[in-house]
């Protein structure tokens, strides 16, 4: 194969690869791993979501991770929130961890929202006993 023919062959491959990459970049949002995380004094939490597609109703793989960062005689909690396009967001139940300072816990779950979603959020909180409200909390949002 002559040098000119090789150059043309590589140019064709490069152009084709560029078209494929542009096509992927402009396609609708597709399932991918996404993360939201936050921290407040005494608590930190993250959520990893895999398999979520913007505009859908399903969060097939949700992993919540929560850490207690203070020796303050309080426990910590975490919850997942699906963010709705038109209508109220869905707040899923709090999950509690009582392990004390320096410990963490994780939960694998899934979630379904009746409303069309545009993202998700995580809330992590410091709690006193069975009080109806947290002492302090943080929230992080992942919008699509």
Record the pTM.
0.78
Cβ(38)–Cβ(140) under 8 Å? yes
Nearest-angstrom CA–CA distance, 135 and 144: 30
Co-location of 38 and 86 in the same domain: yes
Cβ(138)–Cβ(40) under 8 Å? yes
- Over residues 85-120, the pLDDT tens digits come to 887 899 999 999 999 999 999 999 999 998 889 999
Domain that holds residue 97: 32-143
Residue 53 has φ and ψ, to the nearest 5°, of -120, 125
Residue located via tokens 């043309």 = 8
Co-location of 82 and 21 in the same domain: no
Co-location of 67 and 135 in the same domain: yes
Co-location of 68 and 118 in the same domain: yes
Co-location of 4 and 51 in the same domain: no
Torsion of CA 32, 122, 109, 77, to 10 degrees: 160
Co-location of 45 and 23 in the same domain: no
| Number of domains observed in the structure of the chain | 2
């Amino acid at each position: 194969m002559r040098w000119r023919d090789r150059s043309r062959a590589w140019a064709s491959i490069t152009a084709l690869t560029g078209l494929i990459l542009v096509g992927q970049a402009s396609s609708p949002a597709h399932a991918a791993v996404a993360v939201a995380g936050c921290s407040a004094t005494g608590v930190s939490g993250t959520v990893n979501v895999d398999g979520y597609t913007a505009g859908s109703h399903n969060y097939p793989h949700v992993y919540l991770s929560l850490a207690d960062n203070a020796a303050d005689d309080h426990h910590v909690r975490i919850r997942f929130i699906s963010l709705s396009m038109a209508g109220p967001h869905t707040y899923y139940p709090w999950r509690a961890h009582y392990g004390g300072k320096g410990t963490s816990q994780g939960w694998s779950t899934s979630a379904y929202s009746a409303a069309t979603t545009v993202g998700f959020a995580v809330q992590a909180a410091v709690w006193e006993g069975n009080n109806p409200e947290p002492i302090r909390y943080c929230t992080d949002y992942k919008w699509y």
